[in-house]
Structure 1
């Protein structure tokens, strides 16, 4: 069984909720990320995506100095690195997310999985297509 550890990207950064949107956008640009987990007191408390910056911030007239805490998606879904790829796809489909933080058994962030990771690494392209289809359905 292929696990999420086999397909995740271990290069993940966590940003503070008190950082601003400009800083988040630069981190995303420089790292090639589309989403950053938001962490406070050694816990993930939410996430901010490039889409959040565009839709929740810029489209509403917020400035680059706006704190991430004001526009981040609160709460965060995640999976264990030992979970199967199918379980990760199920979680992504159920919550309609394109990127999923991955934690170890101590619930420490160790990576992130995106739909692209599934497409590149998974041998089950039908499952990848089904996951994308379910994520793309309007909520």
Structure 2
């Protein structure tokens, strides 16, 4: 991938702060948090305040509702997936590569082993040249 035009760090382009749903919180709690925060994904943090994974609104629908599971008794940690993240001081290019490699549209950002934000395809759309953004979108959605 061409690196021209990408000199910023992940921290420069990410959404600051990220509320975690606890690994022992119910999926109903996660869904309400997503609604209240107007987001489609939440990082899942453990009792040790460390990232355990990420859960999306689609995960809740497909892996809980469609399977007939109970939103109140199914815990967010049961659906934790994709322990993929990027360090805040790493390049946007590295975030792009991780997102492409893992076919994900949102990536938690870590500093000192704690989540400090999220970088999304919308964040990238604001920062990347059109040609680079088109290449990213093609690689992410080509296998969806």
State whether structure 2 residue 102 is matched by structure 1 residue 95: yes
**1:30–1:128 CA distance, 2 compared to 1 (3 A):** same
The question of 1:21 aligning with 2:57 is answered no
The worse-fitting range, judged by mean Cα deviation, of 128-137 and 1-10 is 128-137
Instruction: Tell me how many residue pairs correspond in the alignment.
Output: 136
Alignment counterpart, residue 91 of structure 2, candidates 75, 84, 88:
84
In 2, Cα distance between equivalents of 1:59 and 1:27:
20
Unmatched segments (≥5 aa) in structure 2 = 1-6
1:94 Cα shift? 0.3
Residue 125 of structure 1, CA deviation: 2.2
Counterpart for residue 76 of structure 2: 68
CA distance in 2, matches of 1:112, 1:123: 17
Q: Deviations over 1:82-124 (max 9, x none)?
A: 11111111110001110000112x222111000011102x142
CA shift, 1:70, in A, is 2.3
For 1:9 and 1:59, the matched residues in 2 are separated by 31
TM-score in terms of structure 2 length: 0.87
Q: Please tell me whether residue 130 in structure 1 is matched to residue 135 in structure 2.
A: yes
Shift of 1:11: 2.9
SS in 2 for 1:60: coil
Q: 1:19 to 1:90 in 2, by over 3 A?
A: same
Rate the CA distance shift 1:69–1:108 in 2: closer, same or farther, 3 A.
Answer: closer
Equivalent residue number for residue 55 of structure 1: 62
- Structure 1 unmatched runs, 5+: none
Distance across 2 between alignment mates of 1:125 and 1:102 = 24
SS in 2 for 1:131: helix
Structure 1 segments, 4+ long, off by >3 Å, are none
